[in-house]
Amino acid sequence: MLRQIAPVVLFFAPVVAAQESSAILSNPFNTPADRIEGARLFRSQCANCHAEDGRGTSAGPDLSSGAFKRASSDEGLFQIVAKGLPGTVMPGFSLSGREIWQVLAFIRSLSISRARETVTGDASRGAALFRTHGCGGCHDGLLGPALGESVRRKPLFELRRSITDPQVEVESRWWRLRAATHDGAALSGRRLNEDTHSVQYADPSGRLRTVSKADLTQYEIVRKSPMPPFDLTDGELDDLLAYLVSGAP
Partner 1 sequence: MRLFSVLLLAATLAAQVPYSRLRDAAKEPGSWLTYNGTYFSQHYSALDQVNRANVSKLGLQWVFQARSLEKFETTPLVADGVMYLTEPPNNVIAVDPATGRPFWMYEHTLPEVTYPCCGKVNRGVAILGNSIYHATHDAKVVALDARTGRKQWETTVANYQEGYALTHAPLAVKDKIIIGPAGGELGIRGFVLALDARTGKEVWRFKVIPEPGEKGNDSWGGDSWKHGGGSIWLTGSYDPELNLTYWGTGNPGPDWNPAVRPGDNLYTDCVVALDADTGELKWHFQFTPHDEWDWDAVQVPVLADLEWAGKPRKVMLWGNRNGFFYVLDRATGEFLLGKPFVKQTWARGLDAQGRPEKIPGMGPSRQGTKVWPGVQGGTNWYAPSFSPLTKLFYLTAWEDYHGTYFTWDQEYEPGKWYVGGGVKAPVPPTRREPIVTRGTEDGYATIRALDPRTGERVWEYPMADMSESGLLTTAGGVLFSGSREGWFFALDAASGKLLWRIYLGGQVIASPITYLVNGKQQISIAAGSSLFTFAVLE
Q: Assess contact for 232 and 238: CB atoms under 8 A.
A: no
18-47: contacts with ligand HEC (CB under 6 A): 45-46
Dist CA 213 CA 186 (whole Å): 14
- The answer to whether the beta carbons of residues 152 and 104 sit under 8 Å apart is no
Binders in 151-210 for ligand HEC, by CB under 6 A: 154, 159, 162-163, 166, 170, 174
Q: What is the CA radius of gyration of the chain?
A: 23
List 89, 182, 207, 233, residue binding partner 1 (CB under 8 A): 89
Interface region with partner 1, contact rule CB under 8 A, candidates 28-36, 72-80, 85-93, 106-114: 85-93
Residue 67 host element (H or E):
none
Q: Of ligand HEC, partner 1, none, which one sits near residue 71, judging by CB under 5 to 8 A according to partner kind? A: ligand HEC
CA distances from 131 to 126, 150, 191, 224, 240 (A): 9, 18, 27, 24, 10
**What is the rounded CA–CA span in Å between residue 52 and residue 121?**
32
- Contact residues for partner 1 (CB under 8 A)? 1-2, 4-5, 8, 43-45, 47-49, 51-52, 57-59, 82-84, 86-89, 91-95, 172-173, 175, 191-197, 221, 223
- Contact residues for ligand HEC (CB under 6 A)? 45-46, 48-50, 59-61, 63, 68-71, 77, 80-81, 85, 88-91, 93, 103, 133-135, 137-139, 144-145, 147, 150, 154, 159, 162-163, 166, 170, 174, 225-227, 230, 240
